[in-house]
Structure 1
């Protein structure tokens, strides 16, 4: 049976067409706050239950509890604070406000709490560092000085060019039931697939009924693969190498925090809400640079025996010339001189130079897809 939503209920914070038209028609009567794209995406994830049990942005009580205990104030596991920051507000607690993105009202918010916060404390708790070179820390220090907590109602979604690949938790749960999948393992990715990814995914699939490949679409670092390249690469991989009755592909919009261990828990919670029972946790999951140890994201799951989704720790794959296949350190008896590790940096360098990677590192069909794009990487 697919997993229960985190916190016991799948949140839906959308409104009817009539309510939307009425609120938008009265928009000039509400105080307005402009939000960035990442916050607008967080809004959608709240409204469609990806962040269940959150009904809105964190109030001060929940904010402090998440920072200090990695749990909401009701003791539900939660590791990443989902926040709305604002300039000195022209509204008070109890007001309803409208949130705008790119000139469009995207949500109405019922203000429950307005509070100040310490940016350095936030960065240290969530990222384990206050180094301004860390992309998450950099984002925190660019935030406004006030946080606003309260429930939201989604009015409009921001444009989604990959809408046909987007499934909400209510939809994936139906899909999994229709396919008869009682156990489902999720794999999050922000890269095109190489044979190491394929090995890990299929190794996990041997233990469950279904595999849910869930690429993250959204803001990425320079050098990352573009969203459309990732999708097309997985399409061709699914066409030729995946069992159609045991694997499915759907995207989620999400702005990476690069918070390492804490974000690994957050990613697991998101897939639990999609209905997954298992989650593949990668080496240095959600990491960046050298801020986290390679297996810190595995260790943190020991602190959450009540998480409600089973982490799967599958060791990093490499190609062994003696074994003549993809293996990992647990199953391969041969020395390092026989091993060829898969380096994302090396693969990018080869692709940029127009060199096709060896077939044991990347499927030829995947390379052909990448090569069909004039600019496959974020600049």
Structure 2
């Protein structure tokens, strides 16, 4: 099930659509996590094009060893369903399985094609470049069940609309929105944080030579200390309303789990935004990184391994405000030392917010600071 569209081509050439009206009555069922239910919906809508379901063994092995599907299409983050051995046997016997979200609602039918075991250490090394259990992605891999189930899905029911889902858009919807705005060149901005003023300036620098920016916060499970989803969305609403000209910024949420896979996740982020219809994506310093696991510019360097991607990366060093230059700038343009730079670490920012202090206006817009300080618990526990 595919649909032809205009504009930049989706990854693989066609936008996948796995929605169906099939009746799941009587099917063997299993419950999946909310994050996995989100990814089932992402498959169905074409956000994960060209995937039509969960990876089979050959594709899985190719992804973790080569960063590509067996047909040589770029794909760097394995999209999988993990179950225990007993459940795997029941699913294989059933053939078609109803996937239910945690509240018991059936969301999709999985057509089981194969079940297989996998090497967790090899998987972590291939995706995250490390087997250190302190890395959140490695810890997640180690906690997974031992059997993976591959097969296409048919999507049957969306979750109930909620405040946090009101900005979720399908690639069909974003492409229609870009066309209605008259945008032909669209730069995507991936984020898991509220907007620093430096991020705002980076976005605005990007659209001086492009038609618009697609701000696409990631909504889903994150590590302890990250901002909660509601804070991120509310801060972007506030920043866009107060500091963006009309018809230059589109806000939509991407509902998937953060992987912290550094360069491999940067490619995954680019593919998803290509599917949304973006022509460019901002890739900054330590994109999708965590701790000191990746070279700060590894996420930029990896794009040379994937020249066939139609979406073009826009590389930026970190932005900051320079008190001597009297402007927001970066190390390529500013000759001054750190004492002249207005910047703050994530740890220091969290400390200030937890103490009820608002960072200065060169770090966060005052309206954004106010939003954050109004939340009793703005951070993931």
The TM-score bracket by the shorter chain reads: over 0.9
Deviation at 1:181, TM superposition (A): 0.6
SS of 1:92 mapped into structure 2: helix
Alignment of 1:145-156 (within 5 A): 145-156=146-157
The aligned counterpart of 1:358 is 360
| 1:60 equivalenced with 2:62 (yes/no) | no
TM value normalised by structure 1:
0.94
Inter-partner Cα distance in structure 2 for 1:255 and 1:92: 27
SS of 1:47 mapped into structure 2: helix
The aligned counterpart of 1:347 is 349
| 1:71 equivalenced with 2:73 (yes/no) | no
Inter-partner Cα distance in structure 2 for 1:275 and 1:74: 23
| Stretch moving more, 147-156 or 333-342 | 333-342
Question: Which of the residues 8, 13, 19 maps onto 1:3?
Answer: 8
The aligned counterpart of 1:131 is 132
Deviation at 1:341, TM superposition (A): 2.6
Alignment of 1:221-260 (within 5 A): 221-260=223-262
Alignment of 1:321-336 (within 5 A): 321-336=323-338
Deviation at 1:222, TM superposition (A): 1.9
| Stretch moving more, 91-100 or 252-261 | 91-100
Inter-partner Cα distance in structure 1 for 2:331 and 2:161: 41
The answer as to whether partners of 2:32 and 2:101 remain within 8 angstroms in 1 is: yes
| 1:15 equivalenced with 2:20 (yes/no) | yes
Inter-partner Cα distance in structure 2 for 1:2 and 1:276: 9
Alignment of 1:3-152 (within 5 A): 3-16=8-21, 19=22, 22-23=23-24, 26=25, 28=26, 30-88=27-85, 89=88, 90-92=90-92, 95-102=95-102, 103-152=104-153
Inter-partner Cα distance in structure 1 for 2:224 and 2:339: 33
1:87-111 per-residue CA deviation (whole Å, 9 max, x = no partner) reads 2221437811111222222210111
The answer as to whether partners of 2:136 and 2:223 remain within 8 angstroms in 1 is: no
Q: Which runs of 5+ in 1 are unaligned?
A: none
The answer as to whether partners of 2:96 and 2:109 remain within 8 angstroms in 1 is: yes
Q: Which runs of 5+ in 2 are unaligned?
A: 1-5
The aligned counterpart of 2:3 is none
SS of 2:223 mapped into structure 1: coil
Inter-partner Cα distance in structure 2 for 1:336 and 1:141: 40
Aligned residues: 371
Aligned-residue RMSD, C-alpha? 1.5
SS of 1:112 mapped into structure 2: strand
The answer as to whether partners of 2:28 and 2:94 remain within 8 angstroms in 1 is: no
TM value normalised by structure 2:
0.94
The answer as to whether partners of 1:93 and 1:113 remain within 8 angstroms in 2 is: no
SS of 2:97 mapped into structure 1: strand
